Structure 1
Amino acid sequence: MLDILAQIRPEVDFERSQDFFEDGLLDSFDLVTLVSELDKTYGISIDGMHIVPENFQNVASIEALLARNGVVP
Structure 2
Amino acid sequence: MANIEDNAREQKVGLKCPQCGKFIHTSIYELITSRGLQCPSCHLQLTIDRTKSKPAIDALRKVKQAQDNLEKKSHFNR
- TM-score exceeds 0.5: no
Larger RCO, structures 1/2 (Cα 8 Å, 6+ apart): 1
More strand by share: 2
Q: What's the TM-score once normalised by structure 2's chain length?
A: 0.30
Larger helix fraction of residues: 1
